[in-house]
Structure 1
């Protein structure tokens, strides 16, 4: 796991879970110009600052520093996506990384702090993306921020609103063991969400179902069939998958 040091801006790799320090983690939706690991390591800082995806990393670092944390994890620049092996390991570990974070900052880039919060949050793109489902469920503490990085409230403070938007029961939003939810129920949570790549419709659910499997980009819809097979093998007594 790579982490970004908030003060120096250096990215360090931790090979053992026992060595990983306390960290904040960012949840967001991808835009057109994200800062990759290669950009962070090789590009001049002046050019980095002009990239569209830089601001939310800066916000995340500043907030972590204010919260007394020295490290942050941001998927855009903390995973070397040039390595298929590293990408596979990261996606299979991501639910655990979000669960183990001290705090998750959920950045809603299409919500303004001056808007009516209930109305604008309910229309936010963040709630339509496949990857953000586990980013909502896994961490015990999630704080939502507007496009200006104004705090909109925590997961517990916004519980009723989040439940009405996502149709997820409050007990599961409050980190109740997801294994207590049937397969069909967990599938229903993801049904209104989408991903840019068809394979990610399966891969973004690995942590939700506590499944590990290799990634094969290019396999298309076969990815979801592989996921279903793995789920059936892991939970043979839950037949609700067939009703989905």
Structure 2
């Protein structure tokens, strides 16, 4: 795992014991958070320094995407990296209106409901895994934490508050219920709808971009072998530009 030093801007690889670090969750936009942005004083880096963290992880700066082996290792390790972080900064890049600081007001509730951050596949594990999350609006105004915003987050995502707070282990949640969390989320590449769920199910498997929906079938096979929970068979494989993984029965009961 590579981490960025907030003082020297040096990217250092840690193979065993890692220092305390902050981690960033954000949507991939047309313009990514590149190393030049960090040199110019990116907001996430300034926030990490303010919070007393010497190290930070940002995917676009800390992963060599030219290496397929490194990319595969990173995606298979991503859930653990978020879980092991001291704090996660979740950047909601949607244009905000009004004062988002008052997280209990209806305006902020609507802001959370409409945010694209809650509709993407990869941000599901980035919401569930970290113990602590601070949410920020598009101008880096702090919105609140996963703890004090838990009621709104549960309303938006369907994820129980006990899961958000880490009081209930994912191993105690049925496969069908965990799949339902992804039902209204999407990814740019159809394969990623399976890959982004590997951490949620504690599954490791190689990445094969170009296999299409076969990736979801491979994930199903791994889940069945590991959990013997056959409710997974009631979930459809994702299709491009369509709502993924929608279970064919009501899992709320």
Partner secondary structure for residue 105 of structure 1: strand
* Post-superposition offset of 1:57: 7.2
Which of 216, 222, 242 aligns to 2:233? It is 242
Which residue number in structure 2 is paired with residue 134 of structure 1?
Answer: 125
Alpha-carbon separation, structure 2, partners of 1:125 and 1:243: 27
TM-score by length of 2: 0.86
Q: Deviations over 1:63-120 (max 9, x none)?
A: 1111111000011111000000000000000000000000000000114263521111
1:62 aligns with 2:46: yes
Measure the CA separation in 2 of the matches of 1:174 and 1:235: 24
Decide which moves more: 56-65 or 186-195. Answer: 56-65
- State the 1:241 CA deviation: 1.1
- Whole-Å separation in 2 of the counterparts to 1:156 and 1:101: 16
Q: How far apart in 1 are the matches of 2:203 and 2:14?
A: 23
Question: 1 CA distance for matches of 2:26 and 2:125?
Answer: 12
Other-structure match for 2:221: 229
Alpha-carbon RMSD across the aligned residues, in angstroms, is: 1.6
Distance 1:110 1:61 in 2: 20
Contact conserved, 1:178 with 1:208, CA < 8 A, in 2? Answer: yes
In terms of fraction of residues, the more helix-rich structure is 1
Partner Cα separation in structure 1 for residue 10 and residue 158 of structure 2: 39
2:156 aligned with 1:157, yes or no?
A: no
Residues 78, 129 of structure 1: alpha-carbon distance in 2 compared, 3 angstrom cutoff = same
What does residue range 208-227 of structure 1 map to in structure 2 within 5 Å? Answer: 208-227=200-219
Q: Alignment partner for residue 191 of structure 2, among 199, 217, 224?
A: 199
Which deviations, in whole Å up to 9, do the C-alpha atoms of 1:129-173 show, x marking residues without a partner? 000000000001011001111110000100100000001111111
Alignment length, in residue pairs?
A: 227
Q: How far apart in 1 are the matches of 2:64 and 2:70?
A: 7
Question: Which residue pairs with 1:97 in the alignment?
Answer: 81
- Checking the alignment, whether the CA contact within 8 Å between 1:57 and 1:74 is kept in structure 2 is no
**TM-superposed deviation, 1:190:** 0.4
Structure 2: distance between partners of 1:122 and 1:35: 25
Matching of residue 114 in structure 1 with residue 98 in structure 2: yes
Runs of 4 or more, structure 1, over 3 Å off, are 54-57
**Aligned position for 2:249:** none
Name stretches of at least 5 consecutive residues in structure 1 with no aligned partner.
41-47
Q: Matched residues in 2 for 1:9 and 1:56: separation?
A: 11
Q: Is 1:174 the equivalent of 2:165?
A: yes
Q: Structure 1 residues 113, 77: closer, same or farther in 2, change over 3 A? A: farther
Residue 3 (structure 1) aligns with: 3
Where do 5+ consecutive residues of structure 2 fail to align? 100-106, 236-253
Q: Which residue of structure 1 lines up, in the alignment, with residue 134 of structure 2?
A: 143
Inter-CA distance 113–63: structure 2 relative to 1 (3 Å threshold): farther
Deviation at 1:35, TM superposition (A): 4.0
